Amino acid sequence: MKLPPGFEYRPGWLDAPDEWFRRLYEGLEWAARDILLFGRRVAQPRLVDWYADPGIRYRYSGLELRAKPWPPFLEELRRRAGETASRSFNSALCNLYRDGADSMGWHADDEQELGPEPVIASISLGAERRFLIRPRGGGKSIRLELSPGSLLVMSGRSQVDYQHSLPKTRRPVDPRINLTFREVLSPPG
């Protein structure tokens, strides 16, 4: 399937995805976090966790995330994702979709802290879930079924010209873990 420019999908990128899923499911500190949506506090429809190098702060949807030290197994995935994407990632946003009711709405990763054309490496583990990409200017969305062990690298104008989402599904699905490695720029001064 042809993806838009700036999206590169590599199925089967990570070996032993079931083992990695278990390690991350048991080893990370999954928590329900509120976000600000149109000025109201609402629970995110998924559990999250966040790791970063010292001094890194990241803000999205009114939520400020502060650096927590990397567990070794996550550090290893950061290294591998960085090698593939030729980037030094300094943070990881981790999402746990408990079932088909958990989701991620339409958005682009275009926060100022990520710079103008960020490179984001996104690992999928656990249940296969559908990922949608749509042009910001309107037009048909493109579907991608993200399989366990796959890597999706988003770069170039992917966050400028497109939005992405992970919709809910009525289909009974097992939990899914997604890790997105990012390079957060330090604030000036």
What are the residues binding ligand AKG (CB under 6 A)? Answer: 93, 95, 104, 109, 122, 131, 146, 164, 166, 178, 180
Burial letters 66-98, b for 16+ CB under 10 A, else e = ebeebeeebeebbebbbeebebebbbbbbbbbe
Tell me whether residue 21 or residue 131 sits nearer to ligand AKG (CB atom). 131
Residue 137 C-beta: closest distance to ligand AKG, Å:
20
Residue 177 C-beta: closest distance to ligand AKG, Å:
9
Residue 180 C-beta: closest distance to ligand AKG, Å:
4
By beta carbon distance, the residue nearest ligand AKG is 178
Residue 22 C-beta: closest distance to ligand AKG, Å:
18
Tell me whether residue 23 or residue 152 sits nearer to ligand AKG (CB atom). 152
Amino acid at 7: F
Tell me whether residue 23 or residue 58 sits nearer to ligand AKG (CB atom). 58
Give 88's contacts (C-beta < 8 A, 6+ positions apart).
82, 183
Residue 176 C-beta: closest distance to ligand AKG, Å:
7
Tell me whether residue 64 or residue 188 sits nearer to ligand AKG (CB atom). 64
Residue 182 C-beta: closest distance to ligand AKG, Å:
9
Using CA atoms, how far residue 17 sits from 2, 65, 93, 99, 146, in Å, is 25, 27, 18, 18, 13
How is residue 186 annotated by DSSP?
A: P
Tell me whether residue 20 or residue 131 sits nearer to ligand AKG (CB atom). 131
Using CA atoms, how far residue 113 sits from 68, 81, 90, 125, in Å, is 17, 20, 12, 27
Contact 82, 89 (CB under 8 A): yes
Residue 3, Cβ density class (10 Å: 0-12 exposed, 13-18 middle, ≥19 buried): middle
Tell me whether residue 104 or residue 153 sits nearer to ligand AKG (CB atom). 104
